[in-house]
A and B are shown apart, each in its own frame.
Chain A
Amino acid sequence: NAGVTQTPKFQVLKTGQSMTLQCAQDMNHEYMSWYRQDPGMGLRLIHYSVGAGITDQGEVPNGYNVSRSTTEDFPLRLLSAAPSQTSVYFCASSSYGTNQPQHFGDGTRLSIL
């Protein structure tokens, strides 16, 4: 099984550019989430979704948009990239409920110049 697939693996953007980080899972999981990981900060929750058509904000949602039109896909959009958004982004999925283990992708390493 592919599990959780994130694309691209690496990306360099200029300040003000927009882009979409892709996340797809093939496990029919209801719950999907986006985290960013910065040195010494652990993972911080950006947005999450409990099912198709339902999204909500996490700890650090500003500057990011999400949508969930299908169970499989949960893209993360940066509308106007800022250097503060330089980070490693992880997508995760699980069956619904915080008593379920989350499955992570291998991350997207994003640099904003």
Chain B
Amino acid sequence: SQQGEEDPQALSIQEGENATMNCSYKTSINNLQWYRQNSGRGLVHLILIRSNEREKHSGRLRVTLDTSKKSSSLLITASRAADTASYFCATDKASYDKVIFGPGTSLSVIP
């Protein structure tokens, strides 16, 4: 079974709206990362949040982490058509060796 699970599986919004994606995981973690994948390309790292952090920002991205609920959310504000991509969360199982990815959320931003 996978460590991380994103929700929803697919999301379609209008340009300018905010997009929120959620990630739930099963076992304790040290770090949680979010990645983006454009169609036909490799993944690109967006942001990392450590288990002792609750919120991080990077440009239009806001990530929160609730370790008591074993969940994280990625908020993209003022979305653009160029934000259309798949977004994945990745977690470690309280180990510094393995990084496990969830199945991803497919985001479509309609101009």
Residues of chain A at the chain B interface (Cβ within 8 Å): 4, 33, 35, 40-45, 48, 50, 56, 58-59, 90, 92, 96-99, 101-107
| Interface of chain B, main secondary structure | loop
Residue from the list B41, B42, B48 in contact with A99, Cβ < 8 A? B48
Residue from the list B42, B48, B99, B104 in contact with A45, Cβ < 8 A? B99
Proximity bits, B34-74, A CB within 8 Å = 1, else 0: 01000011111100101000000000000000000000000
Residue from the list A42, A48, A92 in contact with B88, Cβ < 8 A? A42
Residue from the list B42, B95, B104 in contact with A42, Cβ < 8 A? B104
**Residue picked from B30, B88, B100, most chain A C-beta under 10 Å:** B100
Verify if B31 is at the interface (C-beta below 8 Å from A). Answer: yes
On chain B, which size bracket covers the interface? 20 to 34
Contacts of A50 in B (CB 8 A): 97
Seed contacts A40-B9, A45-B101, A104-B42; 7 additional CB < 8 Å A-B pairs: A92-B42, A98-B92, A99-B50, A101-B48, A102-B35, A106-B41, A106-B42
Check if B43 sits within 8 Å of A104, measured CB to CB. Answer: yes
Question: Can you give 29 contacting A-B residue pairs, CB < 8 Å?
Answer: A35-B101, A42-B88, A42-B101, A42-B103, A42-B104, A43-B88, A43-B101, A44-B2, A45-B98, A45-B99, A45-B100, A50-B97, A58-B98, A90-B42, A96-B96, A97-B96, A98-B92, A98-B98, A98-B99, A99-B30, A99-B96, A101-B45, A101-B48, A102-B33, A103-B45, A104-B43, A105-B42, A106-B42, A107-B42
Check if B48 sits within 8 Å of A48, measured CB to CB. Answer: no
Name B46's closest neighbour in chain A (CB-CB): A101
